[in-house]
Amino acid sequence: MPGASALEIEVSLVSNKGFWLLLGNEEFFVAYTEFPWFKQATVEQITTIEQPSLNHLYWPMLDVDLAVESIRNPALFPLISKPNERKIITN
């Protein structure tokens, strides 16, 4: 299709530490420590990937969206978690 630009995406190996993602001519190791959404996922869930745009990957079975740059340079996109803020109301 003219104007469409998509890279070939393939998961080549899934292990207990993460998985290898081939994206065009680049290869990345997606570690569960940096991308915990995949740790409990099945192989089918990990290998079902869409590419809505050139720099965006989507795992529909997991509802996970990632920028390609966050996979390329995960240190630039640290996970930040805020503690659950609970409001306690007393009368």
Tokens in use for 49? 């990937």
Domain 9-76 class?
A: alpha beta
Distance CA 57, CA 72 (A): 12
For the chain, the domains span: 9-76
Count of CA atoms in the C-beta half-sphere (13 A) of 6: 12
What are the angstrom distances between the C-alpha of 54 and each of 8, 23, 24, 61? Answer: 11, 10, 11, 20
The whole-model pTM stands at: 0.75
Residue 27 — φ and ψ, nearest 5°?
-130, 130
> Residue 61: its pLDDT value, please?
96
Which pLDDT score, from 0 to 100, does residue 78 have? 77
Residue 74: its pLDDT value, please? 85
pLDDT value for 4: 47
| Segments in the chain below pLDDT 70 | 1-6, 80-91
Phi, psi of 20 (to 5 degrees): -95, 130
